């Protein structure tokens, strides 16, 4: 539970970031309008097309900043309301992302160079459990989205057909549709945004990809962002530390040790973090 001063700091930070994002959106819009004007005055088709292409880039950047501003404003409003009442758990930044997709459940995962899941942020328990299943089973929408750097969707029976382990397991959580889009910039994929049971039409619209783009450019990689998503991002550091310990204890590779931890967690029906914590504290020995 955040302290009152911590909540106030986060609220103020989100408001500042929202103001900066709106200012940048206005600046990019003005630049787009300038090049559109130049396109209308261009003496040749080549110059006209060049200015229109530049304007399109500025329009896209403006939209990204505006989406980021709205996410920050939504978070600051919910945090301010919570700080005044304190009768519910502290609001999560990802809850605003989920709301923008017309659902309660959305999750963000960050991956490393080998596309292994390094961190997770979720809007609620079902989305957190769904991403934990991906981590344990090694299959699912976010994993496919990062590997293929493409939008991934599945619902109903297609969930089971595409992911034999993940599909039935996520169905037991009451989830009937999943979708994921990569978080990528300049050809580099840093993670994925997944939503569960989104509102009709969201996945096929620009809303989904715009949200992912705004989070990537303004929150994760932006100079004024908050890569920790206001301390909501859970790192997998303890799990990898435990894998190193198991690797030494059993004289096996770290990847093999990590798979053993995942298998043990899945069998027990607990998170990999819970198993890793017991290993690091000397309460559990695999093998």
pLDDT tens-digit profile of 116-166? 888 899 999 999 999 999 999 999 999 999 999 999 999 999 999 999 999
pLDDT, residue 197, reads 93
Q: How confident is the model at residue 3 (pLDDT cuts 50, 70, 90)?
A: low
pLDDT, residue 113, reads 77
CA distance 215 to 226: 10
User: pLDDT tens, 198-242?
Assistant: 988 888 888 898 999 999 988 888 777 776 788 888 888 899 899
**In sequence order, what are the beta bridge partners of 196?**
105, 178
Q: How confident is the model at residue 2 (pLDDT cuts 50, 70, 90)?
A: very low
Distances (CA, A) of 61 to 19, 54, 127, 204, 256: 16, 11, 29, 21, 43
Helix, strand, or coil (residue 34): helix
CA distance 70 to 228: 18
pLDDT, residue 98, reads 94
How many of the other CB atoms lie within 10 Å of CB of 101?
Answer: 23
Q: Judge whether residue 244 has pLDDT over 80.
A: yes
Q: Tally helices (H) and strands (E) across the chain.
A: 11, 6
Please give the model's pTM, rounded to 2 decimal places. 0.85
Q: Cβ(22)–Cβ(67) under 8 Å?
A: no
> What's CA 24's distance to the chain center, in Å?
23
**In sequence order, what are the beta bridge partners of 137?**
none
Residues across the chain: 287
pLDDT, residue 6, reads 67
Mean pLDDT over all residues of the chain? 90
């Amino acid at each position: 539970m955040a302290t009152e001063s911590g909540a106030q700091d986060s609220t103020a930070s989100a408001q500042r970031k929202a103001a900066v994002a709106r200012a940048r959106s206005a600046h990019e819009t003005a630049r787009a309008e300038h090049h559109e004007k130049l396109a209308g005055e261009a003496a040749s088709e080549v110059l006209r097309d060049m200015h229109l292409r530049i304007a399109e880039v500025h329009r896209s950047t403006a939209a990204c900043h505006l989406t980021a501003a709205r996410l920050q404003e939504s978070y600051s409003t919910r945090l301010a309301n919570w700080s005044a009442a304190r009768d519910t758990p502290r609001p999560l930044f990802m809850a605003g992302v989920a709301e923008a997709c017309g659902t309660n459940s959305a999750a963000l995962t960050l991956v490393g160079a080998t596309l292994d899941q390094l961190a997770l942020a979720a809007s609620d328990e079902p989305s957190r459990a769904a991403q934990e299943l991906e981590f344990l089973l090694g299959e699912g929408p976010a994993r496919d989205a990062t590997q293929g750097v493409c939008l991934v969707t599945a619902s109903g029976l297609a969930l089971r057909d595409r992911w034999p382990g993940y599909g039935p397991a996520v169905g037991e959580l009451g989830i009937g549709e999943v979708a994921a889009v990569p978080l990528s910039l300049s050809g580099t994929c840093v993670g994925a945004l997944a939503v569960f049971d989104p509102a009709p039409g969201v996945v096929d619209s620009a809303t989904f990809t715009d949200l992912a783009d705004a989070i990537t450019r303004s929150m994760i990689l932006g100079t004024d962002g908050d890569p920790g998503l206001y301390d909501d991002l859970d790192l997998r550091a303890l799990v990898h530390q435990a894998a190193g310990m198991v690797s030494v204890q059993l004289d096996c590779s770290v990847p093999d040790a990590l798979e053993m931890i995942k298998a043990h967690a899945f069998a027990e029906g607990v998170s990999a973090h819970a198993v890793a914590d017991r290993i690091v504290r000397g309460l559990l020995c695999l093998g």
